[in-house]
Amino acid sequence: MKRGIMDKPKFEWLCDELGWGPAYARGVLDCLFEIVGRECPRGDVGSMTDREIASAMKLEPDDRRRIGEVIEKMIETGWLAPHDEHRLVL
């Protein structure tokens, strides 16, 4: 679990962009950090499919169906970054 996540402006921005409450967003990010640490220690989360990322983040069904938008908003808010070799990195 990363400290200070909820104090970052980009956290509030992510919540606003996706219509998520802070507790849900925190849980989603914690799940993402956990799977990346375990399965993608170089941060190359793009080695996983969008469906695998959605599953790892424990998204609610409505958010799983819009995983493309979720990933796009995570890029826009600075939680993920596009990468030429790995597609996405944390």
pTM score over 0.85 = yes
Helical (H) or strand (E) element with 89: strand 87-89
Q: What is the pLDDT along the chain (90 residues), one digit of tens a residue?
A: 567 788 889 999 999 999 999 999 999 999 999 999 999 989 999 999 999 999 999 999 999 999 999 999 999 999 999 999 999 999
- Decide if 37 contacts 1 (C-beta within 8 A): no
In terms of Cα–Cα distance, which of 76, 49, 53, 75 is closest to 63? 53
* Residues β-bridged to residue 81: 89
Predicted confidence at residue 69, as pLDDT, reads: 97
